Homo-oligomer: A and B are copies of this chain.
Amino acid sequence: MAHPNEFTKKLVMTEEIAHQQLIDYIKDKISITPEHEALIKSRFHLQKLKRKEFFLREGDECYSQGFIVEGTFRVFFIDQKASEHVLYFGFKDWWVGDIASFHSQEKTNMNIQAMEDSSILSFTKDDLEWLFIQVPPLERLFRIMAQRTLAVLQKRFLLTISASAEQRFLELIQRHPGIEQLVPQHQIASYLGILPESLSRMKKLLYKK
């Protein structure tokens, strides 16, 4: 085998490392015992996804959520006119999943796709309900998480209805510098809620100023 190209990103992630990262994340927010740690680890399973592979696909019945250990994901849904809408991009230490179908246990209409080679710790609704019983403090963690996510989504919603596409674009690249290198432009357009053509034109005008 040739020696590895120094620019090739290698995934050396192991479940052990991933679990430790998750535990560190959790301990930053709530107090848990070593016994709790072991229980949590037992229900989070490492899943490696190559670029463009899906963590969740529209119509999946076996719904699961995930904690991103490394990499980037895009969460999108497809409307009746078959056009894609990016709900958000997920990065390291973010949770991804379709919260709506989580409750209803109906088929999801979300898609979650890796933008680059990524690692994610996944768990099912049953895992989580079991963990809530075994590790009561997790209720608190997930309450805080849900409330923060809610605040973020609310901000995104308010921005979408009150600001122009140009303002939304500027806000995005300010909040996520470098996202344009990571995510193709037509997906950024999709996140902004406009067509790729519109974004292309908008950028031309923007850089003329």
Taking Cβ atoms with an 8 Å cutoff, the residues of A that contact B are 77, 79-81, 83, 85, 87, 99-100, 102-103, 132, 136, 139-140, 142-143, 146-151, 153-158, 160-163, 193
Contacts and interface: CB of A to CB of B under 8 A. Distances in A.
16 contacts: A79-B158, A79-B163, A87-B157, A87-B158, A100-B151, A102-B147, A103-B148, A132-B140, A136-B139, A139-B139, A139-B140, A139-B143, A142-B147, A146-B147, A153-B153, A157-B157
Most B CB within 10 A of own CB, among A79, A85, A156, A162: A162
Contact of A150 (B149, B158, B161, B163): B149
Most B CB within 10 A of own CB, among A139, A150, A160: A150
Nearest to A143: B143
B158 A157 contact: no
Nearest to A140: B139
